Amino acid sequence: MIRTPRLARVLVRWFATAARDLPWRRTRNPYAVWIAEVMLQQTTVAAVVPHYTRWMRELPTLGALATASPERVYRLWEGLGYYRRADNLLRAAWIIAARPDELFPRRFAERLALPGLESDAAPWRQMLRRAIRRGFLKSSIALVFLAGGFFVVEALLRAPRYCWR
């Protein structure tokens, strides 16, 4: 049986030796990580790296994205496909820029209200509710939506022992 702390140490050790050097891993900037995560949905890393680099050079901040024209955003998105992701990024940037603090919402419910995030999270919420209701999971779930510190871990509790057998 692998216990949770041991499994975590093994995974962290593996990642330290096997992780690729990617531009979004060199920053703790929430905006940069968000852009990378959205680009990486349904797209290969090899395709994303040049697009991400160009995007960050031309729209380096949330404010720059919020004031960019849709045409400019689409031009930077060309080659990544699924243009709805670009639309959702732009719409979410407008919403965030209109907030008094111009910061990404801290509350989970507010995050889910942003364009592009509500639909991604819905299947997870439904699956987790079902698993908890049927007793497969108690409230022992670590749910991380995006890596790199952009999304805060919503819940990090010990997994029941039977999960690791």
pLDDT of residue 125: 55
For the chain, which ranges sit under pLDDT 70?
1-4, 108, 118-165
Phi, psi of 62 (to 5 degrees): -60, -40
Q: Is 78 a catalytic residue?
A: no
In total, how many domains does the chain have?
Answer: 1
Cβ-based burial of 11 (10 A; exposed 0-12, middle 13-18, buried ≥19) = exposed
Looking at every residue in the chain, the average pLDDT score rounds to 75
Active site residue: 37, 58, 102, 110, which one?
37
Output the six-digit token pair for 104.
């990404």
pLDDT of residue 118: 57
What's 135's domain CATH number? 1.10.340.30
**Residue 113 half-sphere exposure toward CB, CA atoms < 13 A:** 10
pLDDT of residue 116: 80
Helix axes 30-40, 84-98, angle to 10 degrees: 160
Q: Which of 129, 54, 65 is nearest to 94 (CA)?
A: 65
Residue with tokens 């497969």: 136
Residue-number span of the structural domain to which 30 is assigned: 4-164
